[in-house]
Amino acid sequence: MNRKKATIVTYGCQMNVNETAKMKKLLEENGYDIIDDIHNSDAVFLNTCTVRGGAAGKIEGKLGNLKTIKNSRNGNLIIGVTGCVAQEEKEHLLKRAPYIDIVLGNQNISQLPEIMEKILDGEIEHAVLTNNEDELPPRIDANFGDGITASVAINYGCNNFCTYCIVPYVRGRERSVPLEDIVADVRQYIKKGYKDILLLGQNVNSYGQDFTESSEIKFSKLLDEICKIDGDYWIRYVSPHPKDLTTDVLEIMAKYPEKIASNMHLPVQSGSTEILKKMNRKYTKENYLKLVDNIKDILPNISLTTDIIVGFPGETEENFLDTLDVVRKVQYENAYMFKYSIREGTPAATMEGQIPEDVKQERLLRLMEVQNESAKNISLSYVGKTVKVLVEGPSRRNEEKMTGRISENKVVIFKGDHSLKGTFVKVKIVTAKTWTLYGELV
């Protein structure tokens, strides 16, 4: 039987990348080859993100293309929308774009094969499945493609309701995957040769808080159990919430320096206690800085990265200066810096004191200047050191060079053979730019 072809276009975060990998595997097992070309596909899925305002608008253009392709083939194209826009808009999506065949929420991915079969058999015309948002999705296998990085969702949903964020309304309440299922998944990926295991959750360190009161399973215990698995790999996790980051997690990281990557993404969002309160982040500037001190005491070589929003409603110049102060004090290796943008359906969207665009832009540029300076200084501090690099493949700019990442999540470029892809090597750093280190194979 001829195999069919499918394309999945992925938007947004690592959780979507993980869910795309699961969809890939399901489609492959059901007679589809995965390609990257909507024009030659029998089925196209848009795995969407709704974190930024206007997300639905962004997929509008892509849907328009798919509609044209579908019309030119007398309807012979399955169009699916999955991910958070599907979860949020549900059947409203079909009203806007009746040529969509499948609207599938985050919890319903495992139903994809049976739905496609029903549509192809003419049993149903459309399917909208966006239920069970407060349950754990069934465990399904995934195909991550590169054979190097595999991600495992350890918990779903969020209970925090930061006032700018839509996630808790779309992905439901926090629920943790049983520890033995996670360990089994990690073990099978390591056995298959994956070297970089990424644990995912909206708030990874509240892992286990939804288990029974007598349960002693928490995030540090999960890390400990995973690290007992033999093999040549490291694990990373995104993202912890500063309010839930406890010393036991840091101690476990110190216990396994070879197995847990020396990087922590610790979203600060703002350095101003007043703004943090409006954001409902549940920590102050002082708590955050104290936490960073504790992290650096226990893990002196850790690299810290963060997310920062500038121009949150009501942010004064003084509030913004607090953010600059935190950035200078913490010395992040990298920061994802954004201007606040209204996300309809969240409390911050209707807060008074929305900041004019030009002020947000000016603050963003000032922030980037300060942050880029620390990124550059940290990069330069690697010169002369020998680092362990996980080789990801040939550099896109120069086939003779290989690119990889170190435990601190910095990119390293060095001259090497393509056969090194997917292995750990030692590289001596010779020069450094703000975002990239350059070295020689040892």
Q: Residue 345 is which amino acid? A: G
| Minimum gap (Å) between residue 168 Cβ and ligand SF4 | 5
At 7, which amino acid appears? T
200 binds ligand SF4 (CB under 6 A): no
Q: Which two tokens stand for residue 368?
A: 């980037």
307-346 residues in contact with ligand SF4 (CB under 6 A) are none
Q: Do 152 and 186 meet the contact criterion of CB atoms below 8 Å apart? A: yes
**Which pair of structure tokens corresponds to residue 198?**
């990424």
Least distance in angstroms from the C-beta of 284 to ligand SF4: 16
Q: 247-255 and 219-227 are packed helices; what angle lies between their axes, rounded to 10 degrees?
A: 10
The residue from 150, 162, 227, 310 that contacts ligand SF4 (CB under 6 A) is: 162
Nearest distance, CB of residue 49 and ligand SF4, angstroms: 12
Candidate residues 22, 241, 265, 421; the one interacting with ligand SF4 per rule CB under 6 A = 241
**Cβ(41)–Cβ(5) under 8 Å?**
yes
Identify which of residues 319 and 346 has a Cβ nearer to ligand SF4 in the complex: 346
Binding range to ligand SF4, per CB under 6 A, among 153-161, 177-185, 372-380, 410-418:
153-161
Note whether 16 binds ligand SF4 by CB under 6 A.
Answer: no
Which residues, in sequence order, are CB contacts of 216 under 8 Å at separation 6+? none
DSSP three-state, residue 295: helix
User: For residues 98 and 345, which CB has a smaller minimum distance to ligand SF4 in the complex?
Assistant: 345
Site string for ligand SF4, 373-392 (x = CB under 6 A): --------------------
Told to check if 203 binds ligand SF4 by CB under 6 A, we report: yes
Buried/exposed 122-140: b ≥16 CB within 10 Å, e otherwise: eeeeebbbbeebeebbeee
- Is 202 near ligand SF4 (CB under 6 A)? yes
168 or 394: whose CB is closer to ligand SF4?
A: 168
- Range 70-129, binding ligand SF4 (CB under 6 A): none
Structure tokens at 81: 């929308």
Can you spell out the DSSP letters for 96-141?
Answer: H-TT--EEE-GGGGGGHHHHHHHHHTTS-S-EEE---TTSPPPP--
Q: How far is the CB of 280 from ligand SF4 (least distance, A)?
A: 8
Residue among 348 and 427 whose Cβ is closer to ligand SF4: 348
Site string for ligand SF4, 169-198 (x = CB under 6 A): ------------------------------
Confirm or reject binding of residue 253 to ligand SF4 (CB under 6 A): no
Residue of 158, 264, 295, 324 that binds ligand SF4 (CB under 6 A):
158
One-letter identity of residue 240: P
- Least spacing, CB of residue 206 vs ligand SF4, in Å: 9
Q: Is 161 in the site for ligand SF4 (CB under 6 A)?
A: yes
Contacts of 360 (CB under 8 A, 6+ apart): 310, 311, 339, 340
Strand partners, 386: 428
- Which listed range, 34-42, 118-126, 135-143, 158-166, lies at the site for ligand SF4 (CB under 6 A)? 158-166
Counting contacts by CB under 6 A, is residue 259 touching ligand SF4?
no
- Cα 45–chain centre separation: 19
Q: Which is nearer to ligand SF4, 49 or 167 (CB)?
A: 167
Extract the tokens encoding 343: 């996300």
321 Cβ contact list (under 8 Å, min separation 6): none
CB 333 within 8 A of CB 410: yes
Binding site for ligand SF4 (CB under 6 A): 158, 160-162, 165, 167-168, 202-203, 241
